[in-house]
Copies of this chain bind each other. A is one copy, B any other.
């Protein structure tokens, strides 16, 4: 489907994470090893926090591997927290409004995976989105609808609960349509301070997700690695696929879990969508349809 990367730590050039590693995200756009497809050439996007009140977005419809602007920007933009995403479309158009990350105020969101049989449940799910958020859906993707469901359910207050609720709505809608495994996903969200990486699928066989070992430990393992010297102790990457083969650096996020990075620590928490979505109905629809 897609590949993505999320960085938080001391400010670095985007290039250090996007292009420099042996199996960088750009390399994965042509040669993904763990993705559902080898090629992720249906557009890309980066989002980063810096000067503006909201994070910056740069999204393009070209394959990441041959985008001259992305290469140049990555060599000039420095940020303490950024997202990057390369897309393999599961059918929808290759256009900027379908490229991740998606943005809402201070928040960024990106997704790898899919809502199965999205055509069948799209209308139900779009109706679940808060009417005040409806018109800010710009593209056609399942991912953006998922983001808006999470926003509807309080993403800005409690990301883990809101994403769980959104997944609950998707699974409820899917079950109503007889879809066996309604969702497959890894998701990253951030408010610019902390970042959350989710791994989940209805079938319990989710796409891969990794978080890096903490920097002090890596320094002990690799005392001569120059890159680590300039990096803050609290730096972490969350990635859908390791950027190289460095032993001890990449820790798999377990099935049905959420990695939370920020505030000086990184932790793994359980991620369990509610089985009955009734309690999760958006306020504007509460009681109007059986969960």
Cross-chain contact B68 with A93 (CB below 8 angstroms): yes
Cross-chain contact B95 with A96 (CB below 8 angstroms): yes
Pick the contact of A52: B50, B52, B76, B119 (CB < 8 A). Answer: B76
A59 cross-chain contacts in B, Cβ below 8 A: 68-69
Cross-chain contact B30 with A51 (CB below 8 angstroms): no
Interface residues of A in 58-82 (CB under 8 A from B): 58-63, 66, 68-69, 72-73, 75-78
Query: How far apart sit A255 and B33, CA to CA, in the bound complex (Å)?
Result: 35
Cross-chain contact B39 with A56 (CB below 8 angstroms): no
Whether A218 sits at the interface, judged by CB under 8 Å, is no
> Given the known A-B contacts A38-B38, A131-B123, A135-B123, are A93 and B96 also in contact in the complex, defined by CB atoms under 8 Å?
yes
A60 cross-chain contacts in B, Cβ below 8 A: 69
Pick the contact of A39: B41, B76, B95 (CB < 8 A). Answer: B41
Query: How far apart sit A122 and B134, CA to CA, in the bound complex (Å)?
Result: 8
Instruction: Return A105 CB to nearest CB of chain B, in Å.
Output: 14
Cross-chain contact B97 with A93 (CB below 8 angstroms): yes
> Given the known A-B contacts A56-B75, A95-B95, are A123 and B119 also in contact in the complex, defined by CB atoms under 8 Å?
no
Cross-chain contact A63 with B51 (CB below 8 angstroms): no
Instruction: Return A28 CB to nearest CB of chain B, in Å.
Output: 12
Query: How far apart sit A284 and B117, CA to CA, in the bound complex (Å)?
Result: 22
Query: How far apart sit A76 and B52, CA to CA, in the bound complex (Å)?
Result: 5
Query: How far apart sit A134 and B140, CA to CA, in the bound complex (Å)?
Result: 12
Pick the contact of A66: B13, B89, B97 (CB < 8 A). Answer: B89
Interface range on chain A: under 10, 10 to 19, 20 to 34, or 35 or more? 35 or more
Query: How far apart sit A89 and B95, CA to CA, in the bound complex (Å)?
Result: 16
Whether A94 sits at the interface, judged by CB under 8 Å, is yes
A39 cross-chain contacts in B, Cβ below 8 A: 30, 38-39, 41
Determine the residue in chain B with the shortest Cβ distance to A75: B52
Query: How far apart sit A73 and B76, CA to CA, in the bound complex (Å)?
Result: 12
Whether A127 sits at the interface, judged by CB under 8 Å, is yes
A38 cross-chain contacts in B, Cβ below 8 A: 38-39
Q: For the A-B complex with A95-B97, A139-B140 known, give 13 more contacts whose Cβ atoms are closer than 8 Å.
A: A30-B39, A38-B38, A48-B76, A50-B76, A52-B75, A52-B76, A60-B69, A73-B73, A93-B95, A93-B138, A95-B95, A123-B134, A126-B126
Task: Enumerate chain A interface residues (CB-CB to B < 8 A).
Answer: 13, 30, 38-39, 41-42, 48, 50-52, 56-63, 66, 68-69, 72-73, 75-78, 89, 93-97, 118-120, 122-123, 126-127, 131, 134-135, 138-140
14 pairs of residues in contact across A and B, judged by CB atoms under 8 Å: A30-B39, A38-B38, A41-B41, A42-B63, A50-B76, A51-B76, A52-B75, A58-B72, A77-B77, A122-B134, A122-B135, A123-B131, A127-B127, A138-B140
Shortest 3 CB-CB contacts between residues of A and residues of B: A56-B76, A95-B95, A119-B135
